[in-house]
Amino acid sequence: QVQLVESGGGSVQVGGSLRLSCAASGYISSSFCWAWFRQAPGKEREGVAAIDSDGTTTYADSVKGRFTISKDTTKNILYLQMNSLNPEDTAMYYCAADPKTIATMLALHRNEYNYWGQGTQVTVSS
C-alpha cells in the first residue's frame, strides 16, 4: 500500500505563490508516475501537472508557465510550486500516484491513478 499526505495549502492574494508538498510512504518504486489534481466546488477533478519516472512533465494549459511539478526521489516527496496565483486556482489540491507507466497523453487523466491523498486547500483572494 501507498499513503500520500499533502501539505502546504493556504490562503494567498492574487499574484502570490505557494508550494505544495506530498509525502509518500509505503512501497514506492522508481517506476511510479505522480501528479497533482485539483477540484473546485461544483466542478470535476482536473489534472494540473504530472511527472513520470523519467522526469518528463505534463501541465494543463491553464497552469503552464506558472506551476512547476518536481519530485525528490530520495525523500519520496512530490512538490508543486505555484506562482502568479489567481482566483481560478482556488480548489482542493490532491496528490496522486500510480506504479505503472502512464502515457504522456493520459498523464492528467484521473482514472490512471490508483493512490490518492486527502487533499490540501488552496484559496486565492483578490
- At 68, is the pLDDT very low, low, confident or very high (cuts 50, 70, 90)? very high
Percentage of the chain beyond pLDDT 70 is 100
For the segment 55-84, the average pLDDT, to the nearest whole number, is 97
DSSP track, 8-43: --EEEETT--EEEEEEEEES--TT-EEEEEEE-TTS
Distance of CA 92 to the CA centre of its chain: 10
Q: What's the mean per-residue pLDDT of the chain?
A: 96
Q: Which of 66, 83, 93, 92 is nearest to 15 (CA)?
A: 83
- At 30, is the pLDDT very low, low, confident or very high (cuts 50, 70, 90)? confident
For the segment 83-102, the average pLDDT, to the nearest whole number, is 96
126 versus 47: the higher-pLDDT residue is 47
SS3 content of the chain, % helix, strand, coil (to 5): 5, 50, 45
C-alpha–C-alpha distance, residues 73 and 24, integer Å: 10
Least confident of 75-79, 92-96, 100-104: 100-104
Distance of CA 96 to the CA centre of its chain: 7
Q: Is residue 45 exposed (0-12), middle (13-18) or buried (19+ Cβ within 10 Å)?
A: middle
